[in-house]
Amino acid sequence: MKQQASAATTLVRDPVESPNRIQVVFHHPTTPIIKDKAPESLGETVRTTASDPLRLIIDELEAMIGLAEAKRVMYEIYALLRVNQERAKHQLKIEQQVYHMVFKGSPGTGKTTVARIFGRILKEMGILSKGHLIEAERADLVGEFIGHTAQKTRELIKKALGGILFVDEAYSLARGGEKDFGKEAVDVLTKAMEDHKNEFICILAGYTDEMDDFLMLNPGLPSRFPIQIYFNDYDVEELMQIAEQMIAVKQYQMSTAAKDKIRVHLHKQKSDPFLDGFSNARYIRNMIEQAIRVQAVRLLQTGQPSREDLMTLRADDFVFSQIQF
């Protein structure tokens, strides 16, 4: 009813300019599929218009801390899908896009996790038939003798059909120069991307600088991977939020002193100019798992622990010297 009312015409008399003329004002119904909203509320629009199963997976993506670019790309794909559905109703051409992607970022910034969620979302959207993720690295693609690489790469692509082929540390395929079989793997892969158009999505992942060099050295690649997503390093507050989230999922909590200790430690780590390869959210996961073990030993020595004791990780449970980067 509301829409009908806003779609109606209104008769307006302009008594000053032309007292005898009647102006007809058309009020168009304004219910576009994706409204022109600020990026932070775009996720909300997507959530409210998505089907229930899709919303559940989008919620998982939305719950991840940071990752603005990855979220934006997924919302764009969703918007296009919905707009295509509307275009189909009007017998308009449907825009078919290529969804091969490059994920660039430091260790532990969520590349593999996001790829897995993307697979599930794209399946729910009907873009992929299965949505599974096949993870591969150089050793899975490159063989040891002539013909072996093509065979290995083709087998992996076959497994990935209907889902995502996620090639980690993709730049290692350029290792060894012209004579190396890595180049052959890239050639087979790019050919398969043409032959099996829309049957699988290939994501090349790796550290930013190495990926940029790799793409520059293979001029044919960037145009085949039109979506490039940069995964930022997390700042201390984001790492704290990730820690809170991981701990809550495990039904633990941190004391205030523990939080303060972690925050100070992370500031120190992140400002250390000699620290190389800080593994972002994976470091947080390792830190928490280690603290849980230390707490278990502490509790074992204190007799009957209360529910509160069992849940609480104290400052002295966090022993940073032993955590793997």
**Could you tell which of Mg ion, ligand ATP, none binds residue 110, using a CB distance below 5 to 8 A set by kind?**
ligand ATP
* Single residue of 45, 112, 228, 241 touching Mg ion by CB under 5 A: 112
* Sign of the dihedral through C-alpha 33, 39, 42, 44: negative
Quick one: which of 87, 105, 108 has its CA closest to 96?
87
Quote the least distance from Cβ 238 to Mg ion, whole Å. Answer: 18
Among 108, 119, 131, 182, binds ligand ATP (CB under 6 A): 108
Name the nearest CA neighbour of 66 among 114, 101, 99, 25: 114
Nearest distance from residue 269's CB to ligand ATP, in Å? 16
* Choices 110-118, 173-181, 248-256, 267-275 (CB under 5 A): range interacting with Mg ion: 110-118
- Residues 212-219: contacts with CB within 8 Å, 24+ apart? 212/104, 213/171, 213/174, 214/170, 214/171, 214/173, 214/174, 215/102, 217/174, 218/174, 218/186
3-state secondary structure of 138: helix
Stretch that binds Mg ion, among 109-117, 138-146, 253-261, 283-291 (CB under 5 A): 109-117
Tell me the window of 25-33, 58-66, 259-267, 314-322 that interacts with ligand ATP (CB under 6 A): 58-66
Nearer to ligand ATP, 66 or 182 (CB): 66
Residue that is written with structure tokens 């693609």 in the block: 141
Residues 172-201 that bind Mg ion (CB under 5 A): none
Nearest approach, Cβ of residue 63 and ligand ATP (Å): 7
**For the chain, the helix, strand and coil percentages under 3-state DSSP, each to the nearest 5:** 55, 10, 35
Q: In this chain, which stretch among 79-87, 107-115, 263-271, 315-323 interacts with ligand ATP, using CB under 6 A?
A: 107-115
